[in-house]
Amino acid sequence: MADLSVTNSFSPNTVAASGEVNTNFTDVETWLNNRNAGTDTWGYVKVAATVANPVDITSTAATTEVSISNSATDGDPVLSFELSGTSKFTLGVDDGDSDTFKIGTTAIGTSTSVKIAGTEVTFPGTTITTGIATFSSAIRCAAGAVGAPSISFTGDTDSGFYSSSGHLFITSSGANAVQFASGGSITFMYNGTAALAVASATEVRAGSDNTTTCGTAAVRWSDMRSVLINGSDYGFANGWILREYPATFDDAQTKSDAWMEENANQGIQVINEIGETVMVFGRDGTLYAKQVKPLTDLVDLPALEVKEKKRKKDRKDGN
């Protein structure tokens, strides 16, 4: 702590009465030192000014430092910003909370807005309002869960995004679980390749009864799938479907992937529109069917072969 020293040098051949010296200098020093019996310890400083910059600290050293030190057992060095004598914002170190730096509105240990501990910054409040934020690196959140997603929304904390076991999930508490909106066509990508393109928001729309509107024809949602996966069917417009054998309809709808892999991997069955299994392709390539006819019995086989060759050529050429 710097000491306050008040001195005076008299010009040669001048005379000052002792009373004037005491009044003009000794009493001034005593008052500035908080009337501390004439000692030079500075106990209290108050600057009352009407100018905009009443205190100006300058230095030619490598750093210019203003130190606030508190040596109490549980003492907090604090800066308080006041309006008409009432503290509005404070910032300082909370000695009782592992020496964390805090910015708040009242005492340093209460109503904390920002808390800094080492390199970690936390916002104890519940609301952070921003404009359009720009981040220079990735943003990471907790993994979350279906009932408590890591990214949720005001007024609907059950809806949002969360991660589990390397997968990204979208969860919703509303009746319309997931909707996609776009000013143009909606394209779904898989590993950088378009997997499904939807021309408008009403072209493909799943319902709670496992149905969807695709153009003007109503078909089962599972019929829209392009590959046969565990627990699903591949459907055709005439009602025929492909399903893993020997899984039943209930198995395909309710059993887990692990169960399907263990019990329904003997082949692929063809089921007609009334639910009968009419053909099974075994895993070893054996064909099991009620009746097998040669391909030459198909209607207009040569024309079908020509169409198939053209389709393959067009696909190879990118048409």
Q: What is the pLDDT of residue 143?
A: 92
DSSP-derived secondary structure letter, 98:
T
Taking alpha carbons only, the member of 233, 237, 228, 236 closest to residue 249 is 233
Rounded to 5°, the CA angle 16-21-27 comes to: 170
Q: What is the pLDDT of residue 124?
A: 86
| Interacting residues of 29 by C-beta distance below 8 A, sequence separation 6+ | 4, 5, 6, 38, 40
Q: What is the pLDDT of residue 255?
A: 81
Mapping DSSP onto H, E and C, the string for 212-252 reads EEECCEEEEHHHHCCCCCCCCCEECCCCCEEEEECCCHHHH
Bridge partners of 193, per DSSP, are: 190
Q: Does residue 93 have a pLDDT over 90?
A: yes
3-state DSSP helix/strand/coil % of the chain, to nearest 5: 15, 30, 55
Q: What is the pLDDT of residue 214?
A: 47
Domain boundaries, the chain: 1-55, 75-129, 140-173, 200-293
Q: What is the pLDDT of residue 18?
A: 54
pLDDT in tens, 212-258: 444 444 444 444 434 455 556 777 777 888 888 888 878 877 888 78
Instruction: Quote the mean pLDDT of the chain.
Output: 75
Q: What is the pLDDT of residue 13?
A: 60
| Interacting residues of 149 by C-beta distance below 8 A, sequence separation 6+ | 158, 159, 160, 161, 162, 169, 171
Q: Which of 20-34, 122-136, 285-299 has the highest mean pLDDT?
A: 122-136
DSSP-derived secondary structure letter, 151:
E
What DSSP line would sit under 171-192, residue for residue? E-SSSS------SS-EEEEETT
pLDDT in tens, 95-147: 989 999 999 888 888 888 899 998 888 888 878 888 888 889 888 898 998 88
Rounded to 5°, the CA angle 301-306-311 comes to: 120
pLDDT in tens, 164-177: 888 888 888 765 56
Average the pLDDT over 150-159 and give the result: 87
Taking alpha carbons only, the member of 175, 173, 171, 172 closest to residue 162 is 171
Taking alpha carbons only, the member of 17, 13, 43 closest to residue 31 is 43
Label residue 270 exposed, middle or buried (CB < 10 Å: 0-12, 13-18, 19+): middle
Structure tokens at 26: 């000794």
CB 206 within 8 Å of CB 223: no
